[in-house]
Amino acid sequence: MRETYEKLQAQLRIRKPLVVFVFLSGCLFPVQAAFGNPADSSQIPNMFKPVSTPAHSIFHLSLFVLTICAVIFAVVFSLLVYSIVKFRRRPGDDGREPPPIYGSNQVELAWTVIPVLIVLVLFLATARVIHAVQSASKPAEAVEVIAIGHQFWWEFHYPGLGVVTANELHVPVSDPAHPTPTFITLLSADTDHSFWIPQLAGKTDLIPNRVNHTWIDPNETGMFVGQCAQYCGTQHAKMLLRVYVDSPDQFKQWVLAQTQPAQVSDAVNEGRRVFETTACINCHAISGTVADGRFGPDLTHLMSRETIASGAATNTHENLQLWIQNPDAIKPGSLMPAMKLNERDLAAVTAYLETLR
């Protein structure tokens, strides 16, 4: 009898952690559902799935901080629950006042010194990461990019490569043996913006009259999403951002294609004439033509981008036409004016833009 009991107890001892584990994972199910969605997970800008060095270092620091906070929470939470349950007034209480206790220097000292030590540890761990990220030196192979924030889109210059593009940043994947990180200089043409791709790096603001820097060192190819993280005006919400991490060959090809002048096709002369004789050229540039506006995105290789309007719509024929005719239908409050073209001119301009590969 006694043996069976002990056996049972032994089994329970093994099973107990298992039961706790199953229970906890059940509680965490909704969290798992959000974090571990297998379908199209590259679209979830989850900071706990980093693919680049600064995001990696932050991820490791965050696990450390989270662990310490979880321990503090468990201790204080238990103390609170215990004192509420244990010291509740019970039914049939005699109504006498409990003994007054005015304080205790020893206890106060303990719960002052222990938190101070915890803070010290947290600070040292944090300071290490601050310096590792902010004081990183730029290797010779690094790709340089200048990112300029506009209301409400992103302009990207690659000064070493002669590429100008918008909203969709292409960078090479970085091999740990031969790192090719991308160093980004952040500027703003108007108001404050913030450059944030959670899987690649933390955010850094783009502030007018100020030069900021950030860098990424991605070690996985793919497309990673983010968006402006500092309120910059009416359409802050649709100032979306995409970073394509290409293989070295893909990146080389992309750069080659981007450095070509705009394609010329006689079939769309009509559209080009309309484009060059309306207000389009006040804001947009197409290399090799008279269009050299700088207020809006460079359209020389418009069709190489998957989205228009800073990620607000996919780059399809219908969306492009709608965008030219009535930008507010896609992005109300964007600074692109409705061009009010007649149907013929609209079709011609759209056809022209669609040749800009």
271-310 residues in contact with other proteins (CB under 8 A) are: none
CB of 114 to other proteins, least distance (A): 9
Closer to other proteins at the Cβ: 51 or 163? 51
Question: 350, 320 in Cβ contact below 8 A?
Answer: yes
> Which amino acid, 270?
E
Contact predicate 328/312, CB 8 Å: no
Cα 148 to Cα 167: distance, rounded to the nearest angstrom? 10
CB of 54: closest distance to other proteins in angstroms?
8
Contact in structure between 154 and 167 (CB atoms under 8 Å): yes
- Number of other CB atoms surrounding residue 275 within 10 Å: 24
Instruction: Please select the residue that binds other proteins; options are 9, 104, 137, 342, rule is CB under 8 A.
Output: 104
Query: Of residues 9, 135, 137, 342, which one binds other proteins by CB under 8 A?
Result: 135
CA 31 to the chain's CA centroid: 20
Q: Which of 14, 18, 33, 267 binds other proteins (CB under 8 A)?
A: 33
DSSP states of 183-231: EEEEEESSS-EEEEETTTEEEEEE-TT--EEEEE-B-S-EEEEEE--S-
Q: Which stretch binds other proteins (CB under 8 A): 38-46, 249-257, 292-300, 339-347?
A: 38-46
**Selected range binding other proteins among 14-22, 72-80, 158-166, 316-324, rule: CB under 8 A:** 72-80
Segment 206 to 235, residues that bind other proteins, using CB under 8 A: 207-210, 212-213, 225-235
Binding of residue 69 to other proteins (CB under 8 A) = yes
Under rule CB under 8 A, residue 92 binds other proteins: no
* Shortest distance, position 123 Cβ to other proteins, whole Å: 5
What is the DSSP code (8-state) at residue 178?
Answer: B
CB of 136 to other proteins, least distance (A): 11
